[in-house]
Amino acid sequence: MSNSSAAAPAELLKFVGCSEFRSRIALSILTGKPVKISSIRAKLENPGVREFEISYLRLIEQITNGTVVRISETGTVVLFRPGILTGGEFEFDCCAERGIGYYLEPLMLLGPFGKRSLSVKLTGVSNNSMDPSVEAVSYSCLPLLRRFLGRDSGSELSLERRGCHPVGGAEVRFQCPTVSKLKPLDLTQPGKIHRIRGMSFTCKVSPGMNGRQIVSAKELLRRLVPDVLLTADHCTGARGGQSPGFGVTLVAETRDGCRYVAECMSRPSGVAVAEASVPEDVGLTAAQLLCEEIYRGGCVDSISQPLALALMALCDRDASRLLTGPLTPHSVRLLRLLRQFLGVTFRLQSRPAGDDGLGGDKVLCTCVGSGFANLSKLAALEHLDP
């Protein structure tokens, strides 16, 4: 398995509907298999692909060479023929309908396999209620990616400007090195939670809202562990983007390096006064969502669970194991795609909750990697050998 297409034309894979649009395109790039997606929202009053999906396809064109995308007049059919994954350095303006996290997740899957290291500056919405925020991706997905790449991988994710929904104005930099192969994963012992960290942010609103959010979240979290530290980030001027908003991102850390992340943010500006968000409610909701993630348990949270499964399937031909909480619907659909694109089948074993009654049922996910290799990296290493 490699990131270059075979000489013979690859089989066209056909899908129906818009579900898992990003994953289908990303796996098509990695495997060189063209895809045809039909009946995209065909029964809706406004059928076809949305602007944020077109924006995602433009991002894919930026990091590849030779990719061909054809969209039907009605927008309900997309034919995608993948090119060569090149990576490189560039800037990209993300569609404000979705958060930057929507675009970061597939970049983390594709970045390690390019011809060149990936260095991208993304602009758009850093915080909304639909997608993981940049902080959530940084807390949850980035440490997981480093496990597969190696501890001194050089992968970085930084938030330079914040931008809330709906207008945005955020600036984010993501760097990911290339590797020849991913390291197998063996992550089955989550460990005990020993501290909770987090960030409360405000953009173009009163800085006092940070304190109200923090106090509300701490009131619940300190019942779990005594070591709770939440910092405040009050963004003004250009650093605060173009839309007002506030929110909280929380991360519970275990002694074995596992993390559970949850977040909540205010409703966008322009909603009715009766529906407006209150800082105390935002902080409490974030804390409650973190408690739910902790109850789910496992070694990864629901944000990074799909990324972990996809990277496991792309590992060298060795066994990988991951203990996780109940599989999310997104993860279940992704497992089907991994079998279809890569021929990798996971063994899923239920792990009932312990006799102490703490936490919910877990799932032990085991697979043998597809042996996916970055031929560009391997060729460079062979060239350096005497």
Predicted confidence at residue 8, as pLDDT, reads 56
Task: Give yes or no for residue 386 having a pLDDT over 60.
Answer: no
Query: Concatenated DSSP letters for 41-62?
Result: TTTSSS-S--HHHHHHHHHHHH
Hey, is 280 helix, strand or coil? helix
CA distance 334 to 312: 12
For 242-267, write each residue's pLDDT tens digit.
999 999 999 999 999 999 999 999 98
Task: Give yes or no for residue 273 having a pLDDT over 50.
Answer: no
- In the CATH scheme, what is the homologous superfamily, with its name and number, of domain 13-188+300-382? RNA 3'-terminal phosphate cyclase domain (3.65.10.20)
- Tell me 353's DSSP state: P
CA distance 175 to 91: 12
- Which residue has tokens 């997309």? 78
CA distance 319 to 95: 38
* Residues 367 and 347: beta-carbon distance below 8 Å: yes
For 196-220, write each residue's pLDDT tens digit.
999 999 999 999 999 999 999 999 9
Instruction: Map out the domains of the chain as residue ranges.
Output: 13-188+300-382, 193-296
- In the CATH scheme, what is the homologous superfamily, with its name and number, of domain 193-296? RNA 3'-terminal phosphate cyclase, insert domain (3.30.360.20)
For 324-375, write each residue's pLDDT tens digit.
999 999 999 999 999 999 999 999 999 987 644 568 899 999 999 999 999 8
Predicted confidence at residue 1, as pLDDT, reads 52
For 184-193, write each residue's pLDDT tens digit.
999 999 999 9
For 294-331, write each residue's pLDDT tens digit.
999 999 999 999 999 999 999 999 999 999 999 999 99
**Same fold for the domain at 13-188+300-382 and the one at 193-296?**
no
Which residue type does 154 have? G
